Structure 1
């Protein structure tokens, strides 16, 4: 691998790790602040209950002061027992919150150490880059060592390996979201429900606020699940005709991105034509990749989409009026990027893919594969 490309990969990985741990640390800090706010409320409630309890002697019907009402022994004991039960419940909540705060503070400390190491690594990488650039600018006399060229990797092996890596990447991505986001949100809601069970009787106003927080978190959990289902095409009906699939695709994109004018020209001799299940999925994945790339990176406000179905092929051309794309985009993009995924899909379909662009003409994507 070229040393410049290798260095870029290292820099990119370092930046991704820095962003990941920084975001995680910020999330933990926000969580600690929430726990501390609830702990403050619990301490206030405990203080109120202790003061209420001290108004009466728990085992006598004599009053603490002349303004205290006359209460029979059994009534006094019943009130005292109820207060003690509330105090015990709040103590459990308090211990739970304190334990969570301690755990999350420990995690932040560990993350801070990692961030320190990553920042040191970033400085070292920058120094290494400077050293390499300085070395390349020098003129050497005398011997020059010849590096052995790496043996060429066959195309089928290159794409096959990348497809396997992408499959592993997808599974890791889904597992990470399930573990770090959805599972964490469920656990947080479980703790809030513990608090809510007490607050319903003791402080209805805070209970109502806590219930709203739980509702908001459940909405976010549903959004995370929907995102994963979309990622794995769970709701995609690949048994529909190609005309219906493309009509839905164009309509959805126009609805979701009104800021970008989409001109569509679909030429299909028969609206009832069905592709095979796997080719329907591959085609829609390719279109999702290309359009998503336009919306995220091109700054375009116009897209021209043309798809032609012939007896032998599916031919697609997509042009936008955005900022274009680098000629060496494939080398610059990480192996798990959507553009690498598109190349892998086209290879599996035994098709062809061409992507070109410039600041003047935007980006043009054309691909085809056999029906």
Structure 2
């Protein structure tokens, strides 16, 4: 996921050395935690919620929350797998539906069923055959474009994947590497869903049209995007359908999303297997489904909350509509083919 620079002040991210808490005592579920209980939450490097939301949870529960961020969602999953015998923390947030099966297959997460009211809403995104991950939010990964660039250059805005192959869009597109970026993997899956067995040929054509590939969403968005807030050289970049509301300047939109290129991404939270504080970790899962946490998601992480009790900002209806028919790939197909698809993509794009 991602955090645009206009976010309100957010929690500080601790270093990995912060994982120093002691073993949870045998605390019955639902009872108060000892005052010195410290839960470490492993998350991606774009996690952001207001300090006040964290502080309220700590006051209500007596649990101290520390956050560590090994990198993007893909890097985080890799670290969770590599350290599963000595986990980096107690709970992990930000594993999405493109990487979830890998983490589950490696036994990274323990089963946990939340009793929070919003768990009913989260259940629609449950991963079949597993009780280890709880959905927290969702969003559409898709290409965004700089409105002024196309107007100033008298160029029609591309609408489809095929449009991006036209010569007039050569050297205008920046995306992220699916091996290192969860949005990049989501975009790769969107092209696989759209092109089927011909997806490698499609990427070969994108390469021939001089597509740029970066290591992370932040590189593509903050550095490459030509939108007014960033000033890069690429008017079409990979981001989210929920990004444009945060690029409105003086009441006028400066960017928009190409909704025919979207992949629906869901982010999950789960208690880590071998957690030092599993009971407290479960309370963190419940907290992330609370009204307070869910309401903070749109303005801070630019995603849709899973809770039906929480409303998104009014201007999202205008500037951040969800795709009516996002591309999707069955979870079982992702699990069976993800690694090979990434290898094949690498062979085509970065031989």
TM-score category of the 2 structures, normalised to the smaller one:
under 0.3
TM-score by length of 1: 0.19
Larger radius of gyration: 1
TM-score by length of 2: 0.20
Larger RCO (CA under 8 A, 6+ residues apart): 2
The answer to which structure has the higher strand fraction is 2
